[in-house]
Amino acid sequence: MGRQNPSTLPSDFFFGAAMSGPQTEGMWQAHGKLENLWDLWSNQDIRAFYNRVGSYAGNDMGARYADDYRLLRELGLTSMRTSIQWSRLMDADGKLNPAGADFYHRLFAAAHEAGVEPFVNLYHFDMPTYLFRRGGWENREVVEAYANYARTAFAEFGQEITYWFTFNEPIVEPEQRYEHGAWYPFAHNAARARCVQYGISLAHALATDTFRGLQESGVVRADAKIGLINCFTPPYTRENPSPADLEAVRMADGIGNRWWLDLVTKGTLPADVVDTLASRGIVLPVRAGDKDILARGVVDWLGFNYYQPNRVQAPEHDIDEYGNPCFAQKYVWPDAVINKSRGWEIYPKGIYDFAMTMTRDYPQLEWFVSENGIGVEEDRALRTADGAIDDLAYRVPFVRDHLLWIARAIADGARCRGYHYWGVIDCWSWNNAYKNRYGFIEVNLQDNYSRKLKASAEWLRQVATTHVIE
Ligand code: IFM
């Protein structure tokens, strides 16, 4: 690691939990909730989900939220991000669904009562099906519908919620749904993916602008903040790279990272990326007036989800098997340490490198680590004498190493304000369902979703309450 890492975090640094509505609430048909794309896919092909556990599951937090918030607070966590489900808050006419609103009022009240600040995100890959059928993010009407939903949420909860986010990981739907063919509707079309990315960018900017207006008129609290959360992947290539390798880095970084960083700090998209896309036949569906809309996308702070770096090299082919232009391909670093359950590289220093990139290139930007965590398939294999999952050998080192690099980044000038661990309570993970467990708190699916602290939980409590990284 070079010089000694600082091992304490500032006293005002916050520790919390990150989760999402669709992954925790369950109750997929309660409160008049509409179908979203995860429900649609679960209904169509339940075999696509690990152990056939579909989107209906959540982790039962929709029923247990009061106890769960108390448990988080006992672990020293003072905030938790979740998301409102668009399909629960709104009806199919784009009007507030009072039963859904009532659910979220109760959820947020319980968080406050437990001493856990609710961070509220508006979209976590969960488009209502009827809007997807109208073209999803490729259709401007759906972009407008999102802005209307955001306005409704700000108006309804504007006095209750201080920390708002427009999107979680807006790069993921373009990639997983439209480019890599991994998630419904399984497309392999880079042009559609970038069009979706562009639509989401406009939606983010419209919602941010609405937030500002409602704050000015007093509907939203004066101390409220708006942000965006993305899974940024620090880019690396091989040693002694060729110009083509560096070009691959530029585009991978440009599409995945700089696109969002420029949007939320400058209200623009990176011109070099847009130009390169156009030169390869991917022209964004820009309309007159879009520039002004994007200009309103500047946020108060940013969430940085960090799991893995992005190692790339020059692509072997210009065009892939689906006719899409190739800008980069994966570089397999021989020294990589891989979390075998997930196939993701574990590289704690990446969090420092990206923090320093933001400090250098976006010096005004305040941010926090909005997700970080390790999902392990064999998590439930090893037990302590009192029956707790013994995860000390992997969960603690994972979090400790990332926190040490965060502490060092802060010492070197990074404006990082806090840390949210992803999935403090085991929760449902898209089509992996409950395969990989992330939690410091076990959820027992065989015992009605009962909760039990894992061995690592005491370590988390120590660090979260003392700010000393032991
Ligand atoms: O479960 C997801 C979450 O929804 C977004 N970030 C990554 C997590 C772990 O895969």
Q: 193 is written with which tokens? A: 């993916």
* Dihedral angle of Cα 417, 421, 427, 429, to the nearest 10 degrees: 90
* Dihedral angle of Cα 207, 98, 225, 219, to the nearest 10 degrees: 90
Q: Which of 422, 437, 438 to mutate to test the pocket of ligand 1 (most atoms within 8 A of CB)?
A: 422
Please check whether residue 267 is in contact with residue 193, taking contact to mean a CB–CB distance below 8 angstroms. Answer: no
Q: 169 catalytic, yes or no? A: yes
Report CA torsion sign: 335, 341, 346, 350. Answer: positive
Q: CATH code at 62?
A: 3.20.20.80
Cut 0.85: pTM above it? yes
pLDDT digits (tens, 9 = 90+) for 411-444: 999 999 999 999 999 999 999 999 999 999 999 9
Please check whether residue 285 is in contact with residue 195, taking contact to mean a CB–CB distance below 8 angstroms. Answer: yes
In a domain, 5, yes or no: no
Place of tokens 């965590």: 373
Q: Average pLDDT for residues 198-221, to the nearest whole number? A: 98
Q: From ligand 1's centre to the CA of 231, what distance in Å? A: 9
Q: Where are the alpha helices (DSSP H) in 75-185?
A: 86-89, 98-114, 129-132, 140-157, 172-173
Q: From ligand 1's centre to the CA of 434, what distance in Å? A: 12
Q: Average pLDDT for residues 137-151, to the nearest whole number? A: 98
Q: Which residue has the least CA distance to atom 3 on ligand 1? A: 429
In a domain, 49, yes or no: yes
Q: From ligand 1's centre to the CA of 275, what distance in Å? A: 31
Average pLDDT, the chain: 97
Q: Average pLDDT for residues 312-326, to the nearest whole number? A: 98
Q: Is 148 exposed, middle or buried (0-12, 13-18, 19+ CB in 10 A)?
A: middle
Round to whole Å and give the CA distance between 85 and 157: 14
pLDDT digits (tens, 9 = 90+) for 75-106: 999 999 999 999 999 999 999 999 999 999 99
Q: Is the pLDDT of residue 36 over 80?
A: yes
Q: From ligand 1's centre to the CA of 92, what distance in Å? A: 27
Sheet containing 235-236: give its strands across: 235-236, 310-313, 329-330
Instruction: Please list the residues that pair with 442 across neighbouring strands.
Output: 452
Round to whole Å and give the CA distance between 225 and 303: 12
Q: Which residue has the least CA distance to atom 2 on ligand 1? A: 429
Residues with CB under 6 A from ligand 1: 20, 23, 169, 231, 305, 371, 422, 429
Task: Identify the DSSP state of 377.
Answer: G
Instruction: Please list the residues that pair with 303 across neighbouring strands.
Output: 229, 368
Q: Which of 169, 230, 339, 432 to mutate to test the pocket of ligand 1 (most atoms within 8 A of CB)?
A: 169
3-state helix, strand, coil in the chain (%, to 5): 45, 15, 40
Instruction: Please list the residues that pair with 228 across neighbouring strands.
Output: 302
Q: Is the pLDDT of residue 2 over 50?
A: no
In a domain, 198, yes or no: yes
User: What is the pLDDT at residue 306?
Assistant: 98
Q: Which of 83, 370, 371 to mutate to test the pocket of ligand 1 (most atoms within 8 A of CB)?
A: 371
Q: 173 catalytic, yes or no? A: no
Q: Which residue has the least CA distance to atom 1 on ligand 1? A: 429
In a domain, 9, yes or no: no
Beta strand pairing call for 301-305 and 329-330:
unpaired
Q: Is the pLDDT of residue 383 over 50?
A: yes
Round to whole Å and give the CA distance between 376 and 74: 24
| Catalytic option among 35, 179, 345, 371 | 371
Q: Where are the alpha helices (DSSP H) in 217-343?
A: 243-253, 259-266, 271-279, 290-295
pLDDT digits (tens, 9 = 90+) for 186-200: 999 999 999 999 999
pLDDT digits (tens, 9 = 90+) for 268-282: 999 999 999 999 999
| Catalytic option among 156, 169, 175, 179 | 169
In a domain, 8, yes or no: no
3-state SS, residue 168 = strand
Please check whether residue 428 is in contact with residue 53, taking contact to mean a CB–CB distance below 8 angstroms. Answer: yes
Q: Which residue has the least CA distance to atom 10 on ligand 1? A: 429
Q: Which atom of ligand 1 is nearest to the CA of 371?
A: 6
Q: How many domains does the chain have?
A: 1
pLDDT digits (tens, 9 = 90+) for 346-361: 999 999 999 999 999 9
Q: From ligand 1's centre to the CA of 435, what distance in Å? A: 13
Please check whether residue 370 is in contact with residue 229, taking contact to mean a CB–CB distance below 8 angstroms. Answer: yes
In a domain, 6, yes or no: no
Q: Is the pLDDT of residue 5 over 80?
A: no
Q: Which atom of ligand 1 is nearest to the CA of 168?
A: 5
- Residue-number span of the structural domain to which 220 is assigned: 14-466
Place of tokens 């649609």: 40
Please count the other Cβ atoms lying within 10 Å of the Cβ belonging to residue 266.
14
Q: Is the pLDDT of residue 3 over 90?
A: no
Q: Is the pLDDT of residue 297 over 90?
A: yes
Q: From ligand 1's centre to the CA of 43, what distance in Å? A: 21
In a domain, 92, yes or no: yes
Q: 276 is written with which tokens? A: 């390169």
Round to whole Å and give the CA distance between 20 and 440: 16
In a domain, 290, yes or no: yes
Q: From ligand 1's centre to the CA of 281, what distance in Å? A: 32
Round to whole Å and give the CA distance between 244 and 316: 10
Q: With cut-offs at 50, 70 and 90, classify the pLDDT of residue 1.
A: very low
Q: Where are the alpha helices (DSSP H) in 166-219?
A: 172-173, 190-216
Place of tokens 């409950």: 434
Place of tokens 């964004």: 284
Place of tokens 């903040």: 225
